[in-house]
Amino acid sequence: MLTFIGISIIVIIVALLMTGKTSPIIAMAVVPLFGALIAGFSITEISTFFEAGLSKVSKVAAMFLFAILFFSILKELHIFDPLIKHMIRLTRGNVIIVAVMTAFIAAIVHLDGSGAATFLIIIPALLPLYRQLGMSPYLMLLLMAGSMGVMNMVPWGGPLGRASAVTGIDAAHLWQSLIPIQIIGILGMMGFAVLMGIREKKRILAAQALGTTPFEQDYLLSDVAIDLTEEQKPKKFWLNISTIIIAILCLAFGLFSAPYVFMLALAITLLLNFPKPKQQMEIISKHAPQALNMVAIIFAAGAFLGILSESGMLKSIAVDLIHVLPSNWIGSLHIMVGILGVPLDLLTSTDAYYFALLPIIHEVTSTAGVPVDSVVYAMAIGNNAGTFVSPFSPATWLAMGLAGTDMGRHLRYSFFWIWFFSFFTLSAGFLLGLY
């Protein structure tokens, strides 16, 4: 009975999230309540389940709140602009260098874990350059999606935050083991960008011979909107950059708790750039909606996970799955799911993948003695690569609009390349002993 109700709750939530019939907050707050009532639990018991779930996600929610405010304010101050503009100038019309710089810039800008903000910053800056050189905008999206998928594994990004909420493991602790994967992944993406740049250069030359692709070898930088106006020039640039570096080092070496790191980083940023209390409150109020939206989702996930976990539903599902699956599959189930992570992004949302699928895989593999962090690593590394080729990612639709591209063609152009790239990062994780 518990297995049936638990699976029904998960299926209904996944269906609601996939179809966009309701917000994640409503789905994860309301559906488990009705499931628990049908299972015969009292209001008092359900409240206890909720409180247990809330206690597991409170630290993650606090980290999200301060991290999103911190990076949103830095982006408004145009702290990342000079780096982007300088890299664009360095390309000098070389198609291969443009491809490599696209992958590298996307990794740097996506440091904040916000896909929408990264697309908003990079696409308007690079698209004129791509048009000038006759390069395909779908190549730009492919290279951005690959790099952003690697960088999406930062602790203040959505996936690790969700995984932390599910497992109770600190997101910063999970990230420390993933840093080598991110370094290998970015280097791999830049190598891939070289190959794609060579391929694109051949395509452009072939098209140029037919007179079908605009191409100017000696284009003028003035044709590309890369000049910084006085209003865009960041003030106190090096002080703000130093704050970012120190915050990341504190996280990487575990010097402070992640929420406290971002609380301090936010406080320093406000003091440096907005000395007056009124200015500080105004800038916080401006970016608070985005931060609070994610925090609300995390708390709703706490309710969902608390009810499924504390009621025994997850355990019941896992026990029944063990009887169904071949015994030799159980110990490597998380790796199988990781391999299928990119296709699963086309079938489920990020919320459904981490809040619904991860708990079940963890419960099943734990019977074979698989550590929970190994499950997270396999599933996160395999799935993150496909984040920005998924139609369930709102940021991907934003990218389609900004670049004037088609979602179907983006999927045809990028999907298999991204899936193959996920095998590369999964292999790196396996060789490093993460699972």
196 closest CA partner among 417, 425, 420, 427: 417
What CA–CA distances, in Å, run from 35 to 29, 152, 415?
11, 33, 36
Q: What tokens does 278 get?
A: 């009124």
Instruction: Count other Cβ atoms within 10 Å, centred on residue 343.
Output: 16
The per-residue pLDDT for 430 is: 94
Contact 140, 123 (CB under 8 A): yes
Query: CB–CB of 362/375 below 8 Å?
Result: yes
Residues comprising the chain, all counted: 435
Cα–Cα distance, 155 to 64 (Å, whole number): 9
Residue 257's region, left for phi above 0, alpha for psi from -120 to 50, else beta, is: beta
How far is the C-alpha of 13 from the C-alpha of 307, rounded, in Å?
Answer: 14
Which among 187, 206, 19 has a CA at the least distance from the CA of 104? 187
Task: Compute the C-alpha angle 153/154/156, nearest 5°.
Answer: 120
Q: Rounded to an integer, what distance in angstroms lies between the CA atom of residue 80 and that of residue 83?
A: 6
Nearest to 109 by CA among 140, 78, 141, 63: 78
Is residue 413 within 8 Å of 143, Cβ to Cβ? Answer: no
Task: Give me the amino acid identity at 122.
Answer: I
Question: Which residue carries 């992640």 as its tokens?
Answer: 258
Residues of the chain with pLDDT under 50: 215-231
What count of other Cβ atoms lies within 10 Å of the Cβ of residue 214?
Answer: 12
